[in-house]
Amino acid sequence: METTNIIGNKYKLIKQIGSGSFGSIFEGINIRTNEKVAIKIELITDELKLLKHESNIYRLLANVDGVPKIKWYGKDNLYYYMVIDLFGNSLQELLDKSRKLSLKVVLQIGINILNILMKIHDNGFIHRDIKPENFLLTLSKPTKVVLIDFGISKPYLINNQHINFKCKDKFIGTLNFASINTHNFYEQSRRDDLESVAYMLIYFFLGELDWINDDNINSINLDEFGSENNYVRTKKELITSNINIPKVLVDFYKKIRALEFKERPNYEKYIDSFSKELGNLQ
């Protein structure tokens, strides 16, 4: 990429650590303090302008523990830049190393994630792209996770009023972990973030999901999206028939699937059920 090596007069780009359809992520360093940071970059010519949107959401969620703190946002002639804290491996990378996780670890992760989402939701926002790659382990406390990538997040409360249910004209999110309502192109709400959490926790415990077939679903062919969308949705509708999924996770999934569009999920009750199951595992 063509960019100056120093941005904002104090952040130096070190190496690229990630990329996607919405820009690139670099490891960087504050040349004044030697603090390591993550620097997300987006071309100014990109029509979506997701980085500015994401930086605004980070600012609005600045007091939420489990959401990165934005350190700087700006641009040069070619790029927009957003600087946030640097974190460790993602939960997907953790799973890749372990192949599958114990129920104890899965429940601990679940409690951590539910606490984060409860605060985000209570601040009026939904994430809309909950997946293992978007949860990173902190460097200071490896058992703690943070949620990143708010590029397609949105408020579900407008002037203290919940948005209305409607059908959308396109799919928003990640196919593997999207809710069934999202597969049906329905407007998302808090319940959809939590349904994605349920698929994620089941994935961590089993080490696989029926609809994830290596690179088959990970790289979506837009020409075949309709059939792939239907395939994944059908598999998800049958998930509770899998006898290998622990009852505590099946019960959580069923409670989420029963939620109404505007209903506040009972995060506290879900956390309590996970905590009780953890106690039984000791």
Report residue 217's pLDDT band, with 50, 70 and 90 as the boundaries: very low
pLDDT tens digits for 60-95? 999 999 999 999 999 988 899 999 999 999 999 999
Candidates 256, 250, 257, 247; CA nearest to 281 is: 247
Instruction: Identify the sign of the CA torsion 223, 226, 231, 237.
Output: positive
Position 224 scores a pLDDT of: 79
pLDDT tens digits for 151-193? 999 999 999 999 999 999 999 999 999 999 999 999 999 999 9
Average pLDDT, the chain: 92
Q: Let me know: does 259 contact 191? Beta carbons within 8 Å.
A: yes
For 82-96, 123-137, 162-176, 209-223, which range has the lowest pLDDT when averaged over its residues? 209-223
The Cα 38–Cα 71 span in angstroms is 10
Position 143 scores a pLDDT of: 74
Same domain, 73 and 146: no
DSSP state of 72: E
Where in the sequence numbering do the catalytic residues fall? 129
139's enclosing H/E stretch is none
Query: Which domain range does residue 195 map to?
Result: 91-281
pLDDT > 70: what percent of the chain? Answer: 94
Domain membership of residue 1 (yes or no) is no
Q: Let me know: does 245 contact 205? Beta carbons within 8 Å.
A: yes
CB atoms within 10 A of CB 97: 7
Report residue 21's pLDDT band, with 50, 70 and 90 as the boundaries: low
Position 1 scores a pLDDT of: 54
Query: How large is the average pLDDT for residues 257-267?
Result: 98
Query: How large is the average pLDDT for residues 275-279?
Result: 96
Domain membership of residue 256 (yes or no) is yes
Same domain, 11 and 117: no
Same domain, 133 and 81: no
Say whether 34 sits in a helix, a strand or coil. Answer: coil
As to burial, measured by CB atoms within 10 angstroms (0-12 exposed, 13-18 middle, 19+ buried), residue 68 is buried
Q: What are the residue ranges of helices labelled H in 99-148?
A: 103-122
pLDDT > 90: what percent of the chain? Answer: 82
Query: How large is the average pLDDT for residues 263-282?
Result: 95
Pairing type for strands 6-7 and 145-147 reads unpaired
Same domain, 107 and 170: yes
Contacts of 271 (CB under 8 A, 6+ apart): 111, 114, 115
